[in-house]
Structure 1
Amino acid sequence: MPPYWAAALPVAVPLAIYVLFLALAANPFFQRNFIYAHRIQTLWWSDVNLPQTWGFAKNQVTPFSLTTSDHETLYAWHILPLPLYSKHENELSAQSSGFSPNIEESFNFKLLSEDPSARLVLYLHGNAGHVAQGWRPSSYHVLTETSTYHILAIDYRGFGHSTGSPTEKGLILDASAAVDWAIHTAGISPDRIVILGQSLGTAVAAAVAERYAGQGVDFAGVIMVAGFSSLPTMLSGYAIAGWVPVLRPLKAWPWLLQKVLGFVVDKWESKQRLRELVHAVKARGGRLRLHLVHARNDWDIPYHEDDKLFAAAVNGTVDGADGMDGMDPDILAEQKEQRTVRKGKDAFVTLWKDGDVQIRQELFPSGGHNDIMTYAPVTLAVLRSFALDGTAEP
């Protein structure tokens, strides 16, 4: 091999691999596999129909399925709050375990549907894996061990045991199916439902909340943890685990970056959806509790993405927001600072109120991209949404 080839190889090989990756990512099939990573999962050696494996009490969790409007079958977990489970432990543990072909016949469902004060958290997870993968069970434990909240956690189409393949439109239909099941099958009123999304799940949460707001439906709260303003914007600066850049090398050539971003199939424009959500709720005098939570040390999605989401949501309070650019950025920044409480070098809370619309942004100093789901800010956001934080204000 000529000397110049040997010298060029360390640069040429990585460059060729990167170009190949970009070429594959331009194809919708490969792109969605990269983005949703739904094939990266542990079902080969984990049985999600045995929730005790992840530390739950016997039959505290009911695995079941629900059907979407386009006839996909979604795998789901209904998780009982542990204090409620303890009151009925003998009857619950006497039931048969495993997947429930008809959850409506279970005692677990009865405890949810026949309790007029039952509160439900609809849990929308991020990309990759399934309902029980990684740290997700730990976050369920945190929310249910000492509270009265039920959890409904779903696997989107193509994830885990769910049928189909993921698309933006499809995942919105999946979350809508979960909401419809909660309201119409379980009989839980929207004011007793919190939509909680993490990472990719924040985009799903924003979309489903905006969809139902247009129908006059107000949920107890919408909580977005480690969110992003839009998928193309996020990808332009995204690095896997904070170390492996995806499109960041192309920033040196803006025209090329924009051309590549033009191939993104599923846009997930959460920024615009939040603006429309807030505007719709305010226009009809509805109630909204929107929480944006991010860890300062999130190396997957930069925390400043929440600044964009917050600004968009606040601009939704401006009259005629659908056809205007919103507040002047400098004025918004000044007013935001006036509403901000600093809680340390890398932590703050901003609360923006407009009538019965409340937009709360919290930056927490630790928690990374995933562990933050088990930290106090998320639990407090649920408490505040349900007006159970000890304050007089609902």
Structure 2
Amino acid sequence: MPQLKPILKQSYYVLAGVGAIWASFLIALINPTIQRHALYAHKLHTGFWNNVSNPEEFGFAKGQVAPFHLQTSDDETLHCWHVLPMDVYLENEAELVQETVTGLVVEDLTKTVGYKLFKRDSKSKVVVNFHGNAGHLAQGYRPATYRSISGISHTHLITCDYRGFGISTLNNAPHIPTETGLITDAISMINYVLHTLKHPADRTVLLGQSLGTAVTAASALYFTDPTSVYLPSTLATTISPPAPKEPISFAAIILVAPFSNLPELLKTYNMAGIFPVLKPLQPYPRIARFLESKILDHWPTQDRLRALISSTKTPASTHIRIIHARNDQDIGYQTSEKLFTSLEKSFLGEENVISDHERRSIHGGDRVKRGAFAYRRVEDADGKRTVELEVVRYGGHNQVVGFAQVGLAVRRAFNVKTFRPGLDVE
């Protein structure tokens, strides 16, 4: 039997080494460049051996996806995909296959067969998708999301890599992704759908996952109140066309695995679901506060969503759907519950507010809407402003956005009047 003392000594050195590496990592994050590289992780992707200009590599039918370039208002070039719905593709498969050149990225989407099919379909709907940090638009589970959405009748999907991600350009100073830069990209994407493609906002859903939820919330607020104090002041000088004069109402804003703001998130966030960032500093609040003060991009999603639903400029119809997996190891589902509670408070001072809270018991025997672990909803007297939280039981942090619950949320957004909650089952 080995002696206990040498084993304990070796364990001590291992723990000390891990602690030193972690402390060095935190100190390095004080540097603005390193911090943003760590936050956005835009250099970590499989584009070195995967060709994002060839969607067939990621399980799509030939011609179903049109890779194209989108020019932002500050002259960045984003690499984007237009994903056709399966029903439209099936009806026009022969023409799409014949016209598609594998690996070709078109400069003008409006010159493609896919756009022609989009415009002549009077029932067309659009989902504008904003992915999370790291990777490119076809990384990991992301194509599963697009395939799920493409199964919804007449529903087209537009998704882009932010500046510096994948093969999108990064020409503007400081030549690294920033909060203002990503919001500019998102607004440019939405403007492209509304103005270039001339698609109505009330048949458009904004869908974001993880970091993409922060991007989604910021861009949605811009189209409600572009002068909001919760938006970067520099947006006014970079956005073209000019800010909307009237609030724009989208079919729904769907947020998958959101967070209230970045400093708050880092207190509980686990990188790759394993490595904590600031959580070990809970016994040392002064050090934690010092590091929090060095965070450059705060992404205040909670403040932006509260401004979105309570502003005097709030659109007549505003529907926010929050979805979070109970087994998310990166961002705990409790962050979404706190976010919902904060948004719910914005309604409490109003008359005839309807609120619904359901939660599965510890034994799992209680019925909850949609078979979820927890379901909460609040709406105003007219039902025109709603916030909904659905904590699903499975899906983790990344897979969940391609799960049926997200696809169903999109369907409900486009079919509000036909949803009958009384038919939900376990």
User: Of 195, 199, 209, which residue of structure 1 is paired with 2:210?
Assistant: 199
State the TM-score, normalizing by the size of structure 1.
0.90
Instruction: Report the residue type matching 2:79 in the other structure.
Output: Y
Instruction: Report the residue type matching 2:252 in the other structure.
Output: G
- Which residue is 1:309 aligned to? 339
Q: Residue 275 of structure 1 contacts residue 315 of structure 1 at CA under 8 Å; is this kept in 2?
A: no
- Which residue is 1:299 aligned to? 329
Task: Name the CA distance, whole Å, in 2 between partners of 1:284 and 1:179.
Answer: 18
2:191 is the alignment partner of 1:189: no
Task: Name the CA distance, whole Å, in 2 between partners of 1:283 and 1:174.
Answer: 23
Task: Name the CA distance, whole Å, in 1 between partners of 2:403 and 2:142.
Answer: 13
User: Of 24, 35, 39, which residue of structure 2 is paired with 1:31?
Assistant: 35
How far did 1:44 drift? 1.0
Q: Matched residue of 2:336: which SS?
A: helix
- Which residue is 1:359 aligned to? 387
Worse overlay, 372-381 or 291-300: 372-381
User: Of 110, 116, 123, which residue of structure 2 is paired with 1:104?
Assistant: 110
Q: Matched residue of 1:39: which SS?
A: coil
User: Of 388, 405, 408, which residue of structure 2 is paired with 1:377?
Assistant: 405
Structure 1 gaps, min length 5: 321-334
Identity of aligned residues (%): 38
Q: Matched residue of 1:339: which SS?
A: strand
How far did 1:389 drift? 7.2
Q: Residue 271 of structure 1 contacts residue 308 of structure 1 at CA under 8 Å; is this kept in 2?
A: no
Pairs within 5 Å for 1:83-232: 83-97=87-101, 98-164=104-170, 165-214=176-225, 215=244, 216-232=247-263
Pairs within 5 Å for 1:25-64: 25-64=29-68
User: Of 356, 359, 372, which residue of structure 2 is paired with 1:339?
Assistant: 356
Q: Residue 224 of structure 2 contacts residue 313 of structure 2 at CA under 8 Å; is this kept in 1?
A: no
Q: Matched residue of 1:289: which SS?
A: strand
- Which residue is 1:328 aligned to? none
How far did 1:241 drift? 2.9
Q: Residue 67 of structure 1 contacts residue 74 of structure 1 at CA under 8 Å; is this kept in 2?
A: yes
How far did 1:54 drift? 1.4
Question: In 2 relative to 1, CA 187–343 (structure 1 residues): closer, same or farther, beyond 3 Å?
Answer: farther
Task: Name the CA distance, whole Å, in 1 between partners of 2:192 and 2:349.
Answer: 34
Instruction: Report the residue type matching 2:85 in the other structure.
Output: P
Equivalent residue pairs, number: 375
How far did 1:101 drift? 2.2
Deviations 1:6-45 (A, max 9, x none): 7863343223222211111011100111111111001111
Structure 2 gaps, min length 5: 1-5, 171-175, 226-243, 365-371, 422-426
- Which residue is 1:235 aligned to? 266
Task: Name the CA distance, whole Å, in 2 between partners of 1:113 and 1:217.
Answer: 21
Task: Name the CA distance, whole Å, in 2 between partners of 1:236 and 1:284.
Answer: 32
Question: In 2 relative to 1, CA 8–313 (structure 1 residues): closer, same or farther, beyond 3 Å?
Answer: closer
Task: Name the CA distance, whole Å, in 2 between partners of 1:285 and 1:38.
Answer: 34
Question: In 2 relative to 1, CA 389–341 (structure 1 residues): closer, same or farther, beyond 3 Å?
Answer: farther
- Which residue is 2:173 aligned to? none
Task: Name the CA distance, whole Å, in 1 between partners of 2:79 and 2:388.
Answer: 32
Task: Name the CA distance, whole Å, in 2 between partners of 1:190 and 1:146.
Answer: 18
Task: Name the CA distance, whole Å, in 2 between partners of 1:30 and 1:142.
Answer: 35
Instruction: Report the residue type matching 2:299 in the other structure.
Output: W
Q: Residue 248 of structure 2 contacts residue 315 of structure 2 at CA under 8 Å; is this kept in 1?
A: no
Q: Residue 223 of structure 1 contacts residue 293 of structure 1 at CA under 8 Å; is this kept in 2?
A: yes
Deviations 1:272-291 (A, max 9, x none): 001001112x6556101100
How far did 1:319 drift? 6.3
Question: In 2 relative to 1, CA 285–183 (structure 1 residues): closer, same or farther, beyond 3 Å?
Answer: closer
Question: In 2 relative to 1, CA 177–7 (structure 1 residues): closer, same or farther, beyond 3 Å?
Answer: closer
Tell me how large the CA RMSD over aligned residues is: 2.3
Pairs within 5 Å for 1:317-328: 317=347
Question: In 2 relative to 1, CA 11–386 (structure 1 residues): closer, same or farther, beyond 3 Å?
Answer: same
2:298 is the alignment partner of 1:272: no
